Amino acid sequence: MGASALTRKYKVMDKGSLKLLIENDRENDISEDGEIYSGSWGSKCGRVIFLNEVLKSYDLAYEMILDKSDKWEPLIAIRVKELEDDGIKEFFLVGGWCPS
């Protein structure tokens, strides 16, 4: 079986609130796609690993998530502080490889 890369952006908030949102999204994926080899977050366990780094771009965060992720391990969350033309955008990027 293979794996699908899946990430989602979330506004900056405390880790407890973010974990609740992620778990809600995971439960929605389970109801829509199932749990086993679905290629969605429904196939991931309910844990989240928060990395201590704050990265400067979506692309760097995406690459780090995929580099550190394994399809059988928890989701990974990284905070991003990205400079754009209209100012600094802050968010969490969450994701990983999902069994499919």
Question: What pTM was computed for the model?
Answer: 0.90
Q: Give me the half-sphere count of Cα atoms (radius 13 Å) on the Cβ side of residue 75.
A: 27
Range of the structural domain that residue 51 is part of: 3-99
List of the chain residues with pLDDT < 50: none
Predicted pLDDT at 51: 97
Predicted pLDDT at 71: 86
Sequence-separated (6 or more) residues with CB below 8 Å from residue 98? 3, 4, 5, 6, 38, 39, 40, 41, 43, 44, 71
Predicted pLDDT at 57: 96
Task: Name the domain count of the chain.
Answer: 1
Predicted pLDDT at 3: 85
Predicted pLDDT at 58: 97
pLDDT tens digit string along 52-66?
Answer: 999 999 999 999 999
